[in-house]
Amino acid sequence: MQLFRLFRNVLSKGHGLVLFLILLLIGFGIRHLGKDGKETVVAGALSSVYYPAQLVVSSVDRIHSVAYENDRLKKENARLKMERDNLREGLEEMRRLRELVHFDNVWDYSIVTARVIGKNPGRFLTTFVVNRGTDHGIQKNMPVFTTHGLVGRIAAVSRFHSKVQLLPDPSLHVSVMVQRTRVVGFLEGGSANYLNATIPSYMGVREGDTLVTSGLGGIYPKGIGVGVVRSMHKGDVDVVTELELDPFQKFTRLEEVFIMQKEPDYVLQEMLKDAEIH
C-alpha cells in the first residue's frame, strides 16, 4: 500500500523520469538473475495476475455444485414424500378392507369392493359412479354400504361402471326401523349432513335412537345402520312424526364402498304394490 502511494505521488508530481529509471533498474536486475531466479520472479508475477481469476472460477464452480446438489436433494425429498403418502394410502385402504371380513361373516351374500371414481356435479350430492359393473356381477338395485352403514343402491349399470343412488336423494325411499322400539317408518331424502324420516306418532321414539333398515321392500337386508335421531317434530298430520337424522355416512368423503350381490325380491315388491292398490 505504501509503495502504491509512493508511485502515485511520483506520478502526480510529474516525476515520470524517476519512475522510468526505477523500472529500468528492476529490468536490469531481473536480467542478471540466474535461470531459477527469473523463473521465480515470472511465476510470482503470473500468480499475482491469475490468482484472482482462479478464485472467481473456483467460486463459480462451488456455487454451481451446491445448486446442483440442492436441486438433487429437492427431487429426492419429493420422491420420498410421494412414497410415504402412497404407503399411508395403502395402509388406510388395507384397514378399511380388513373390516369387510366382518360383513362377510354376517351376511349370506357375496360382497364386491368398489372405488368411487366420479360424483355428480351440482350443489347436492345424490349420486356417484363406482368402478364395478355387469362384468363384476353387479346388477341394478343391489344394496351399497360401508362399514359404517347404508349408502344407497345401484341405480344404473354398464359393463365396467355403476351409478349409485345415495340416501340423500329425495326420490329414494327406504323402509327403516327404530332399533329400540322396532317401529317401522320411511327414509325420505335429506342432504350430505342430515337425513329425513317419517315414523308413526305416539310410538315412543326419542332423540338419540338408532334407525336401521327394516328388511321390508325386498332390496335391503334387515339391520344395516342408517343414522341417529337428531331432532323430531309433528308432521302435517297428527299420526306422523317427522325425524331429522345424523347419518352414519360421510357421503362427501366416501372413497370405497361395498356392493352386496343381493338380487331384489321382485315377488315381494309386486305383492307390496298390490297391497297398496287394494
Q: What is the DSSP letter of 221?
A: P
* Cα separation, 96 vs 137, whole angstroms: 22
Segment 72-77 mean pLDDT? 74
Nearest to 114 by CA among 80, 152, 85: 152
The answer on pLDDT for 236 being more than 70 is yes
Segment 108-131 mean pLDDT? 86
The answer on pLDDT for 176 being more than 90 is yes
Cell of 265: 325380491
* Cα separation, 33 vs 26, whole angstroms: 11
Separation in Å, CA 64 to CA 7, 50, 54, 69, 97: 41, 21, 15, 9, 50
Domain residues for 185?
111-263
Place of cell 320411511: 186
The answer on pLDDT for 10 being more than 60 is no
What pLDDT shows up at residue 277? 37
124 occurs within a structural domain: yes
Segment 78-101 mean pLDDT? 65
What pLDDT shows up at residue 278? 33
Tell me which H or E stretch contains 246: strand 240-247
What pLDDT shows up at residue 108? 75
- pLDDT mean across residues, the chain: 77
Classify burial at 41, counting beta carbons within 10 Å of its beta carbon; exposed 0-12, middle 13-18, buried 19 or more.
middle
184 occurs within a structural domain: yes
The answer on pLDDT for 252 being more than 80 is yes
The total domain count for the chain is 1
Q: Are 135 and 159 in contact (CB under 8 A)?
A: yes
Q: Are 114 and 131 in contact (CB under 8 A)?
A: yes
Q: Are 227 and 195 in contact (CB under 8 A)?
A: yes
What's the CA angle centered on 188, arms 248 and 158, to 5 degrees?
Answer: 80
Q: Are 234 and 201 in contact (CB under 8 A)?
A: yes
Cell of 171: 326420490
What pLDDT shows up at residue 30? 54
Highest mean pLDDT range out of 49-63, 93-107, 113-127, 134-148? 134-148
Classify burial at 15, counting beta carbons within 10 Å of its beta carbon; exposed 0-12, middle 13-18, buried 19 or more.
middle
Percent of the chain whose pLDDT exceeds 70: 63
Confidence bin at 127 (pLDDT 50/70/90):
very high
Percent of the chain whose pLDDT exceeds 90: 36
What's the CA angle centered on 209, arms 259 and 218, to 5 degrees?
Answer: 35
pLDDT tens digits for range 200-225? 887 788 999 999 999 888 899 999 99
Separation in Å, CA 142 to CA 35, 109, 118, 166, 183: 102, 11, 19, 12, 25
The answer on pLDDT for 276 being more than 50 is no
CATH number at residue 193: 2.40.10.340
Angle formed by the axes of helices 35-106 and 16-31, nearest 10°:
90
Segment 91-113 mean pLDDT? 67
φ, ψ (nearest 5 deg) of residue 264: -60, 145
Distance in Å from the first CA to the final CA of the chain: 118
Bigger pLDDT: 122 or 224? Answer: 224
237 occurs within a structural domain: yes
